[in-house]
Every structure is written in C-alpha cells, then in structure tokens.
Amino acid sequence: MSDTVFHKIMRGDLPADILYQDDLVVAFRDISPAAPSHVLIVPRKDLPSVSDVTEDDRMLVGHMVLVARNLATSLEIEGEGYRLVFNCGENGGQVVPQLHLHLLGGRKMSWPPG
C-alpha cells in the first residue's frame, strides 16, 4: 500500500481540516492554499495519478467531481465560479503521488496557468 502524506491523513496519523468524507473519498483543506478556498478531494483507493485510472474507476472519478461541486456549494463559492484541477506527473506539477482533485475558489483566476 502507498504511504503518501494523504494516506497518513486518511489513516488519521496526520491532522487535517477535513470538510467531508465517505466510503470513497476524503476532502480536506490544502495546507498551503493557492486561493481563499482550496480543498483537496482524495480517493481512499490507492491510485497514484490520473494515468493510473481505469474503466473501473469511472464512478469514483465522477464521485470526486460531484463531491467537489457540493463543497463549492457549501463553501459558497459556486455562484462566482471555481476551478477544478488534476495535476498529473512532473510536467503537470503533481507533487503528491496519490490521485487528488484540487477545488480552488474565492478569487479570480487567470488562464492559462503558469
């Protein structure tokens, strides 16, 4: 089993500001927020990145998106808009090798990203 910082949070070995959890995912505030609201939605299943997602994970990945959308509503950032990001691999800027979806909101974001 992988043992990233996110696995430690999911096991309860590291503290985190958890906003939501269920059988499939845990969502907690990013420790170094890039926006006023910055939440990570992480699957409990070991999956290093989007590159490791298979057909079997269709429902899981869809669930991650719906959890992010519901959190955007509860954090009251849905009306003004928000960004969902999967960083993948080195060029994608992924640092933690466990799949996670970033939910960012509360400020205007530029495009394209740097």
Instruction: Quote the least distance from Cβ 78 to ligand AMP, whole Å.
Output: 21
Closest C-alpha among 97, 69, 83 to residue 6: 97
Q: Out of 94, 99, 103, 105, which residue is the one contacting ligand AMP (CB under 6 A)?
A: 94
State yes or no: residue 30 binds ligand AMP (CB under 6 A).
Answer: yes
State yes or no: residue 50 binds ligand AMP (CB under 6 A).
Answer: no
Instruction: Specify the stretch interacting with ligand AMP by CB under 6 A; choose among 18-26, 60-68, 69-77, 92-100.
Output: 92-100
Partners of residue 110 on adjacent β-strands: none
Residue 102 a catalytic site member? no
CB-based burial, 53-91: b 16+ in 10 Å, e otherwise: beeebeebeebbeebbeebbeebebeeeebbeebbbeee
Instruction: Specify the stretch interacting with ligand AMP by CB under 6 A; choose among 24-32, 51-59, 68-76, 105-113.
Output: 24-32
